[in-house]
Amino acid sequence: MLPFLNKIWRPWLVCLLAGYSALAVLISQLPDDNFHVYFLDIGQGDSIMIKTPENHQILLDGGPKNYVLQQLDGVMPFFDKKIDLVVLTHPHADHVDGLVEVLKRYEVGAILMTGVDYPSPNYDEFLKVASQKNIQTFIAHNNLDFRFGEVFLDILYPGKQMLGKTIKNLNNSSIVTKVSYKGKRILLTGDMELEEENLLIETGLNLKADVLKVGHHGSRTSTSKGFLNLVKPEIAVIQSGMGNSFGHPHKETLYKLKEAKVKRIYRNDLDGMVEIEL
């Protein structure tokens, strides 16, 4: 090609390639009739996006700061600003902080939370924005369930409402949800620790799940052998941030997962965003 033609075509070629890349990303974000669960890479915290085959979108927790906003941009088309349900498992900063901006920037259909009493500026702001926008709010208990087409959200914990209550260990107020789709089950545990695990075990509920979101970022205070024996997961996902100051996930928990013959263990600190597709 002549030099002057090369100069003319090069910018056009760059634009075409950039346009193709943008189109490819957009197409990858569009509904595809599959069930997706994204364990978002938001650092040391929890944030999980569920997309149903009918394109319902459920966000559980928002992680620290506003890292969740960039992650949502990666799994939702830029023109889609609707989230059907936001779940706040418990109001610690590494779960609630990112949800404040989510409520402000997205059209949220409903909120599920415990409503526990907890002094926190960002939790207060979360409640304030939810009230200002008049978002329908559900208070969690184990007789409250949600169905989005073929996707079923079964609330396993708490057993009764905690609205307005002060909980000594807030982690053990975490909403626990079993998500079911076509015979596959995913157990989402928030920051549940051993005390809450034992309460769940005592209920006699069916805890069996194919995928376990490991409680409390893989801390040694969660994921007992007795609990794992009932869940029997094939896949475990740990939401922990790279180089976090807590040393999560703890080696004791990783050992218990391997001892329980969990086939695959994914970690946000090592694997980035983790996607489960069915």
Tens-digit pLDDT profile for residues 132-184:
999 999 999 999 999 999 999 999 999 999 999 999 999 999 999 999 999 99
163 token code pair = 């609205």
Q: Using CA atoms, how far apart are residues 53 and 40, in angstroms rounded to an integer?
A: 19
Tens-digit pLDDT profile for residues 57-76:
999 999 999 999 999 999 99
- In the prediction, which pLDDT does 32 show? 78
Asked if the structure places residue 223 within a domain, the reply is yes
Asked if the structure places residue 118 within a domain, the reply is yes
Q: Residue 200's domain spans which residues?
A: 31-277
Q: How big is the chain, counted in residues?
A: 278
Sign of the C-alpha dihedral computed for residues 60, 239, 249 and 252 taken in this order: positive
Asked if the structure places residue 20 within a domain, the reply is no
Q: Which of 198, 195, 199 is closest to 160 using CA atoms?
A: 199
- In the prediction, which pLDDT does 4 show? 53
Asked if the structure places residue 37 within a domain, the reply is yes
Low-confidence residues in the chain, pLDDT < 70:
1-31
Asked if the structure places residue 81 within a domain, the reply is yes
161 φ, ψ (degrees, to nearest 5) = -60, 145
CA gyration radius for the chain? 20
Whether the bond between 11 and the residue before it is cis, its omega within 30 degrees of 0, is no
**Other CB atoms closer than 10 Å to residue 16's CB: what's the count?**
11
- In the prediction, which pLDDT does 15 show? 56
Number of domains, the chain: 1
**CA torsion 78→80→84→87, rounded to 10°?**
10
- CATH code assigned at 147: 3.60.15.10
**Other CB atoms closer than 10 Å to residue 144's CB: what's the count?**
14
**Other CB atoms closer than 10 Å to residue 121's CB: what's the count?**
10
- In the prediction, which pLDDT does 33 show? 86
